[in-house]
Amino acid sequence: MQNLINIKTKNINGELIQTVNARDLHAFLEIGKDFTTWIKDRIKQYGFAENQDYIIVENLSSPKSGSANSRQQVLKEYAISLNMAKELSMVERNEKGKQARQYFECERRILQPSLPGNYIEALEALVISEKEKAVITDQRDQALRTKSQISRTREASAMGKLSVATRKNRELTERLGESFKHATITAVKNATGKEYKFAPLRRWCRENQVEATEVPDIRYGQVKSWPAESWLQVYGINLKSLFANSQRIH
């Protein structure tokens, strides 16, 4: 893009900043209002701050040829930052403003240092950048692996606890005389609400050479827990069906 408006480096508040002369910008934008009124109105309207967005430089102007007044005049020149110049161009909302805004943006990118000062520094900066990326990637992957491992460990632990609890519950149930394999008279009575005699069960076991098991009982110390087949043959009770939905342990 051609050099539409001169850009100069100025010291604003102790910092070297690329600036343009607001009077040159005013001329390029073809503003109908006189320069002094225009720049003061824009500064007030958009809150630009002196020694931050612009500085004022006083220059002596030569008297105009043929003028009766031969005295030099003091002109106030406004050196404005590229950002301020872009904003002033934008608010004009015309083709000239668009051209100026694009020009300032291109110049800003060209003038803004984006690479180290030499080839060695550029390579060092690239190595540092790649190392930082590698560290970040490794940390992310490690976090994902840790999360996955914790998830698997928790799942295995939960399954293990469930398996142990299930096994202990089944063993306890069988010891107390309520299971699909054996059942005490008390357990079947509590499940059905009916009375049963042990003699027919004992007789069937003797005839079929089947042994009943002994289980703990708080009243008698030990009681017989009769085989499922004996309950089925003697009383027509299927222990599996009877205890399938039972929530109680006797």
Q: How many angstroms separate the CA atoms of 35 and 30, rounded?
A: 10
Instruction: Judge whether residue 54 has pLDDT over 60.
Output: yes
Helix (H, G, I), strand (E, B) or coil at 67: coil
Report field, pTM of the whole predicted structure over 0.85 = no
Q: CA–CA separation, 138 vs 150, rounded Å? A: 18
For 51-77, give one letter per residue: b (16+ CB within 10 A) or e: eebbbeeeeeeeeeeeeeeeeeeeeee
Average pLDDT, rounded, for the chain: 79
User: pLDDT per residue over 72-130, tens digit each?
Assistant: 778 899 999 999 999 999 998 899 999 988 888 887 776 655 445 565 666 666 676 67
Q: Strands of 7-12's sheet, edge to edge?
A: 7-12, 15-21, 73-81, 54-61
CA–CA separation, 223 and 31 (whole Å): 111
Closest of 99, 84, 98 to residue 10, by C-alpha = 84
The total of other beta-carbon atoms located within 10 Å of residue 191's CB is 18
**Phi/psi-derived region of residue 170, left when phi > 0, alpha when psi is between -120 and 50, beta in every other case:** alpha
The whole-angstrom separation of Cα 201 and Cα 224 is 10
